[in-house]
Amino acid sequence: MSWLFFALLSPIAYGVSNILDNYLASKLFKNAWTLTAYSVLFNSLFISLVFFVETPGLPPASLIPFLILIGLIETFYLYPYYKALQDDDTSVVASLFTLGKVSVPVLAFFLVGEVLSWHHYLGFLVIILGSTALTVNGDGGKFHLNKSFGYMFICSLLLSVEAVVYKYAFEQVNWSTGFFWATLTTIPIVGCFFLLPRIRKDILIERRVFKKHVGIFAAQELFSFIGMAALTYALVLAPVTLVAGIEALQPIFVLLYALALGQFFPKIFHERTNIKNLFKKSLLFAIMIIGVVLVTQ
């Protein structure tokens, strides 16, 4: 069950990354495109760590379009993600990463021929229903979805496509080759941001903010890199639908971090921890864990 270790390491690391992302998006950077540019460029600095695990080779020419597609998704999923963080609790946003994953079993079936047992699909459905319920509000007797729901539906759908494309790539090349070149493609993609006058101007204006908080960027991107590396390695070892199910534990770790450290770092955390919200989140997280158990059986 080594795949389970790496699949669990991913939401543990991503949970820390989510919290730091929220601080950057809601407290430091108003323009999500600017934050996207800095995040992608900073994350690329960690790509050399791949060589300490395994030396990447050259991918076949037929795989290059798929690696570019992964790079595009790795860049552009960040915009709706940052917008959602500006609107809602970090744990709720993290839970909504599961929304688009309803497409994972379908995409996995058609692209890599992946077929699972009925309880795996049932668990997957339970996870998605639980995460959707987290963002439903009943204020004033009327139920409505937060803005974060729409942003994260787009975000999670993109990441679901990415996970399946990664699985397809790993059937042709080893982990280091697929991960290294897919990550490397994000550099020229974000470089195109500088061709757009408005975004280029804002990036240059905000460079002082970036320099002042470079330590937070370093920590955030390190945990993000660990999360992605663990996730992609888990995809090498196990079916993509199972790995996607384990990813649903991410908001639980975010909430645990907030409860343990929120009083010491109040500026970092964006989390409502009153009795009403804790009860709602705990109940729905428990339902999601049942789904995870079904997925991993």
3-state SS class at 137: strand
Residue 159 is predicted with a pLDDT of 85
Beta-ladder partners of 136: 145
Half-sphere exposure of 226 (CA within 13 A, CB side): 17
Contact (CB, 8 A) for 132 and 99: yes
CA torsion angle 31 79 89 96 (round to 10) = 170
Residue 77 is predicted with a pLDDT of 93
Residue 141 is predicted with a pLDDT of 44
pTM exceeding 0.95 = no
pLDDT means per 10 residues, the chain with 297 residues, are 84 90 87 91 86 92 95 94 83 72 64 67 75 60 62 84 89 93 94 91 90 89 90 86 75 81 74 72 77 66
Residue 30 is predicted with a pLDDT of 84
Residue 254 is predicted with a pLDDT of 82
Structure tokens at 4: 């389970």
